[in-house]
Amino acid sequence: MAAPFEVMVGRIETLAVDVIVNAANRQLAPGTGVDGAIRAAASPALTAHTNALPGLDEGEAVLTPGFNLPAGHIIHTAAPVWAEDGDEGQKIAGLAGCYMSAIKLARMHNLTSIAFPCLGAGNYGWPRGFACAIAIAACEQALEQAPEIQRVIFCCFTEDDAQIYRAALS
């Protein structure tokens, strides 16, 4: 069976899916970019909720309610920063872990549709094509253990990013 991938251009905080994935920082503190947009749309209750949670290691994920979002839930995951010192293989494993942890968490909570932003490709500086290849490979691997997931959306902020995903999936 082919993976249930979709590529779209849009704002992830507007999607009516079971769960959207937030590009969070390790402290789960308010940030900019995807995180800022999700928090603004979800309501201050999201920050109050994440303030009570422990931080994340790179590649880990945690589930929260969606609050005022069309999505019922949010999975927060922390990607490694590409430009920081460290082993490249560990960074790749960390970014792949973000996708794999999110899919595993969605499966554990019986969620069947999940939308990802381009994790790591914004403020964290990952080369977009490289991050895309890691995203697709990690999702394909995780979906082998999660056949219940019927939709995996790569929600890109720009058409240029969407073209990278479409090319990689074709």
The span from the CA of 170 to the CA of 155, in Å, is 17
115 in Cβ contact with 71 (< 8 Å): yes
Long-range Cβ pairs for the range 98-102 (8 Å, 24+): 98/21, 98/58, 98/59, 98/61, 98/138, 99/134, 99/135, 99/138, 99/139, 99/142, 100/59, 100/138, 100/139, 100/141, 100/142, 101/59, 101/60, 101/61, 101/77, 102/19, 102/21, 102/61, 102/75, 102/77
Active site residue 35: yes
- Which position among 35, 85, 87, 160 bears the catalytic label? 35
Residue reference for tokens 């090319």: 167
Active-site positions read 35
